[in-house]
């Protein structure tokens, strides 16, 4: 699988407690991206954040987890990302989704 040098970064901001059909939303998104053969996905878990509601989500010692922020990043061709967006919209209830153009310098193993 190849990614063109001029690609798109899809960044999805959700909460750790968000669900889709009984499973964690972040898991459902990554599995759908894999099913649609996108190049790859990475989930990042944040120790603190806030969103539209301005409610602070934090990982403090006394509170093991308070719906921590999750960021999912997916990079692929613009066409494949655009084809994924309707699937993503169907899964998400709330959150933030951004797109930005990126330049891919390397994907996979080096040929050196």
Residue 13 sits in a domain of what CATH number?
A: 3.30.70.120
Report if residue 47 sits inside a domain: yes
| Residue 62 placed within a domain | yes
First to last CA, the chain: 18
Domain holding 85, by residue range, is 6-103
- Residue 53 confidence (pLDDT) above 80: no
Residue 1 lies in a domain: no
pLDDT band at 57 (very low <50, low <70, confident <90, very high): low
Residue 24 has pLDDT above 60, yes or no: yes
Would residue 84 count as lying in a domain?
Answer: yes
d(CA 36, CA 33): 5
The pLDDT of 48-76, averaged and rounded, is 75
**Residue 52 confidence (pLDDT):** 72
pLDDT beyond 70 at 65: no
Give me the number of domains the chain comprises. Answer: 1
């Amino acid at each position: 699988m190849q990614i063109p040098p001029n690609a798109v970064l899809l960044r999805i901001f959700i909460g750790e407690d968000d669900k889709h059909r009984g499973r964690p939303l972040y898991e459902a998104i990554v599995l759908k991206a894999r099913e649609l053969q996108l190049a790859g996905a990475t989930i990042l878990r944040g120790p603190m954040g806030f969103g539209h509601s301005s409610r602070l989500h934090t990982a403090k010692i006394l509170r093991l987890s308070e719906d921590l922020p999750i960021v999912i990043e997916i990079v692929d061709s613009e066409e494949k990302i655009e084809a994924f967006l309707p699937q993503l919209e169907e899964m998400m209830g709330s959150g933030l989704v951004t797109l930005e153009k990126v330049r891919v310098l390397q994907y996979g193993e080096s040929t050196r």
